[in-house]
Every structure is written in C-alpha cells, then in structure tokens.
C-alpha cells in the first residue's frame, strides 16, 4: 500500500474573551494542556487566548506540556515601551511566551473604537516582535433576502479593505492568520451558512494569493463540533468562542480535523 500522505496542518483555538475568573482560567488551561498530545498527533495547531491578567500563569502551565499549545493575547499596543498608561507592550508579550496576537476582533472594533489604521500599526508591532498576528475580519450585516452572490460580494468587499490595510503594514514573507468572523454570526445560535463561508473564504485566500509568507484563514462565529466538516473546503481551521468553554467540544473539533 502506498504511504498515507501527511495530513494538511489544521489549526484551532479559542479566546476566553472576558468570560472566566482567574481560577477558572487556570483549571481550563490545564484541561487545554491535556489536549496537546491529541492535537500534535492529529497534525493540528492548538492555541489558547486568555485575558491579559492570566497570560503569565497560562504560559507557565502550557510551557510544561511536552506538546505545544500556542499562547495568544487578545490585543497589544503598537509601541514597544513608554508612557502609554493602561496599554500592553508587544515586546513584553513576546518575553512571556506569547506567539499569537489577536487583533481587530469585532467586539474591539465596535465597543472600543478599533480602526483598520490602528490594527495595521499593531500588526506591524506584532511581526516586528517575532509573533504572528491573528487578524479578525468580517462584514457587519447578515445576508438579506437578495441573491446569495450579492451577500458574498458585500462580505468580500468589507473584508478586503480590512485585510489590505493590515497586509500593507507587514513585510511580505511574514506569517499571518486571518479569522473570517461575520459580525452577525458572533454570539449567534449557529455559525454562518456553509455556502456563504466557503465562497467568502475562497475569495479572501485569493486576496492573499501573491504573498510569500504563510497565510492561514480561520472561521469564527458560533463555531463548534460539526462546523469544520462543513467549511474545510474554504478554511484552515476554526476560532471558537463560547462553544469551547466545554473542553470536550474542542476535543471533538480536533478529532474531526484529524478525520477530514
């Protein structure tokens, strides 16, 4: 029998947003660490993005696992140090073991006035400090009753602006992850429809087509078990929110990624 070709590498992870207390974050992180061997054996990169307060404790838990779990931060400032009260330095994030920095989540754009210009500066700071930006993009409005192609076109136009702004700020050849998260699908009862996500993410990949660095495209927005199987034509992985609070769901997603 010919050798089984290596699986394509997938990626899955979760942001804890501001959901958990410190003690719950730590026990959750230990559970995530216990999934590391499964993820490694399944050719899946696993990441965890706790809040800032718990980053160092999570770093110490995750650094003791034989298989890697990538540690992420939910944001950063774009300067490395100085008089910027209340902000967090990308250099410090790197120092404590952060490897992924999430930028431009819909909640930050909507509630905290994050703009494409700011996100681009932050992406540059993340890359300058040797980490990977995970940039969230997505259209605000849910598809209306019109033709599906119009909804796809509108989503791609909104995402293109967000992506090109960030890409212009980072050197070609640097790694970047985009999370396609339709704003209307975040916090919903189910993810956006398969046809919509696959059509949009295929276009998003085209936008990055000329880049030399590795680009990975995730889907986020009410994702959970069963989502990846539907979307795998378009995406490299998933970015989970609430449905990862039950660690067993994340385990199921890794198992699905292994099978598909």
The residue (of 15 and 42) whose beta carbon lies closer to ligand 13P is: 15
Compute CA distances 124 → 55, 160, 208, whole Å: 21, 18, 17
Known catalytic residue: 181? yes
Q: What residue number has its CB nearest to ligand 13P?
A: 241
Q: Which one, of 205, 68, 192, lies nearest residue 140 by Cα?
A: 192
The residue (of 79 and 107) whose beta carbon lies closer to ligand 13P is: 107
Known catalytic residue: 245? no
Q: CB 3 → ligand 13P: shortest distance, Å?
A: 37
Q: CB 224 → ligand 13P: shortest distance, Å?
A: 7
The residue (of 231 and 240) whose beta carbon lies closer to ligand 13P is: 240
Whether residue 243 contacts residue 223, with contact meaning beta carbons closer than 8 Å, is answered with yes
Whole-number Å distance between alpha carbons of 219 and 31: 23
Q: CB 118 → ligand 13P: shortest distance, Å?
A: 18
Q: How far is CA 195 from the centre of its chain?
A: 21
The residue (of 181 and 236) whose beta carbon lies closer to ligand 13P is: 181
Residues that bind ligand 13P (CB under 6 A): 15, 105, 181, 186-187, 220-223, 239-243
Catalytic hit among 181, 203, 251, 256 = 181
What's the CA dihedral at 107, 110, 112, 113 to 10 degrees? 140
Q: CB 258 → ligand 13P: shortest distance, Å?
A: 21
Report residue 239: phi and psi, to 5°.
-120, 110
Q: Where are the alpha helices (DSSP H) in 208-246?
A: 227-231
| Torsional class of 68: left (φ above 0), alpha (ψ -120 to 50), beta (otherwise) | beta
Whole-number Å distance between alpha carbons of 175 and 129: 12
The residue (of 15 and 174) whose beta carbon lies closer to ligand 13P is: 15
Q: CB 238 → ligand 13P: shortest distance, Å?
A: 9
Residues with a known catalytic role: 105, 181
């Amino acid at each position: 029998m010919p050798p089984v070709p290596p699986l394509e590498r997938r990626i899955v992870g979760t942001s804890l947003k501001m959901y958990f207390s410190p003690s719950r974050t730590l026990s959750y992180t230990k559970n995530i660490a216990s999934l590391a061997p499964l993820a490694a054996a399944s050719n899946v990169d696993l990441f965890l993005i706790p809040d800032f307060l718990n980053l160092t404790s999570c770093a110490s838990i995750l650094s003791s696992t034989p298989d890697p779990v990538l540690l992420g931060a939910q944001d950063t400032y774009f300067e490395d140090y100085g008089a910027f009260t209340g902000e967090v330095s990308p250099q410090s994030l790197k120092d404590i073991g952060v490897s992924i920095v999430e930028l431009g989540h819909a909640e930050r754009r909507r509630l905290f006035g994050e703009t494409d210009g700011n996100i681009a500066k932050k992406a540059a700071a993340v890359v300058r400090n040797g980490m990977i930006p995970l940039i969230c993009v997505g259209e605000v409005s849910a598809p209306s009753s019109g033709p599906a192609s119009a909804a796809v076109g509108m989503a791609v136009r909104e995402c293109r602006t967000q992506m090109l702004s960030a890409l212009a700020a980072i050197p070609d050849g640097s790694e970047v992850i985009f999370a396609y998260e339709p704003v209307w699908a975040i916090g919903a009862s189910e993810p956006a429809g398969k046809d919509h996500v696959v059509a949009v993410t295929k276009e998003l990949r085209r936008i990055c087509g000329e880049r030399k660095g590795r680009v990975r495209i995730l889907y986020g927005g009410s994702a959970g078990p069963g989502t990846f199987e539907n979307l795998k034509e378009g995406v490299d992985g998933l970015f989970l929110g609430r449905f990862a609070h039950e660690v067993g769901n994340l385990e199921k997603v890794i198992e699905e990624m292994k099978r598909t």
